[in-house]
Amino acid sequence: MLSILIPVYNTSVITLVNQLHKQALRDCTCFEIIVIDDCSTFHEVKIANEQLNHLPFIKYIQLNRNLGRSAIRNMLIKEAKYEYLLLMDCDALVPQEDFIKNYVKECNGTIVVCGGTAYQKEKPPSENILRWHYGVHREVKTADERNILPNHAFSTFNFLISRDIPNTIVFDETLVQYGHEDTMFGYMLLKHGYTVKHINNPLLHCGLDKNEDFIFKTKLGVQNLHYLAHQDRYKTVDFSQFKIMKVFKIIKLLLLKTLIAILYHLTINKIEKQLCSEKPNLYLFDFMKIGYLCTLKNIG
């Protein structure tokens, strides 16, 4: 019936897995939960997560080398034995009692279903405010909103997929750092004729990066998109369908790339200081991304 698959890195998933396990026992005819630790560096986290081996229907695996965000998901899919695969990030909690039941209802035929993302209503500490602010204002969308451009809204944070699809589409394992593995997976789904269905069945995103770390990861994501846009295997992809690349294309047509790169270098310190403040400006966050993209070499 259902394989619940969770890649882990330096995060305790005891509470998350216990929540999922309790619901799956009640709402699934048969299930398994597979947790693979991608060579975490926090020893105390690894020790804590080892407790999972004592629960029935749970397999906990520790790797001795880091595979990266894409390869670890491909490994989880290969380990799974059931027809439907529920993949999620490890820095999450289950906010409702019918989370598993809602996905079980969708287990019919060949499917890709995304449940969405939620955030706590209360503001986090100031050191995490940027990630929370971005999530609340950019990531939290209803199923109706996400279904307008369903494959563009695909996210690896919380999704169900029938296992016949990953037999032909896999996560790009050349992407080992943060960002856009879900962007390309959503595109490949569309290319192969699979339309993502979005439902209101979110997980609560709890693992909020510190402001500086989120800025750093965002730049890594821009690097990944830059890398993908210059790979021969993706030469048929219209990258202008992605918002940042659409804006970048316009910038190049207007011959503004060099000017924006200069503005980026002149203002980035002040921009990052503002983004780490109590009221981060997401328009400045957008400029940071496009400005950083303009500074990358061989962008064409």
Q: Could you report the per-residue pLDDT of 65-92, keeping only the tens digit for each?
A: 999 888 999 999 999 999 999 999 999 9
Residues in CB range of 123: below 8 A, 6 or more apart: 129, 132
The CA-to-CA distance between both ends of the chain, in Å, stands at 47
Lowest mean per-residue pLDDT among 130-139, 217-226, 281-290: 217-226
Q: Which residue has the higher pLDDT, 242 or 286?
A: 286
Reported as a single tens digit per residue, the pLDDT across 271-290 is 999 999 999 999 999 999 99
Q: Residue 146 above 80 pLDDT?
A: yes
Q: How many CA atoms lie within 13 A of 3 on its CB side?
A: 20
Give the per-residue pLDDT at 229.
83
Q: Residue 95 above 60 pLDDT?
A: yes
Give the per-residue pLDDT at 176.
59
Tokens of 257: 């790339």
Give the per-residue pLDDT at 178.
66
Residue 95 DSSP one-character state: -
Give the per-residue pLDDT at 299.
45
Q: What is the mean pLDDT of the chain?
A: 92
| Domain limits, CATH 3.90.550.10, in the chain | 2-206
Amino acid making up residue 169: I
Q: Residue 168 above 90 pLDDT?
A: no
Q: Which residue has the higher pLDDT, 119 or 230?
A: 119
Q: CATH class for domain 2-206?
A: alpha beta
Residue 51 DSSP one-character state: G
For residue 179, name the pLDDT band (cuts at 50, 70, 90).
Answer: low
pTM of the model: 0.91
Amino acid making up residue 201: N
Q: Residue 213 above 70 pLDDT?
A: yes
For residue 300, name the pLDDT band (cuts at 50, 70, 90).
Answer: very low
Give the per-residue pLDDT at 9.
94
Q: Which residue has the higher pLDDT, 127 or 191?
A: 127
The torsion angles phi and psi of 140, rounded to 5 degrees, stand at -75, 110
For residue 298, name the pLDDT band (cuts at 50, 70, 90).
Answer: low
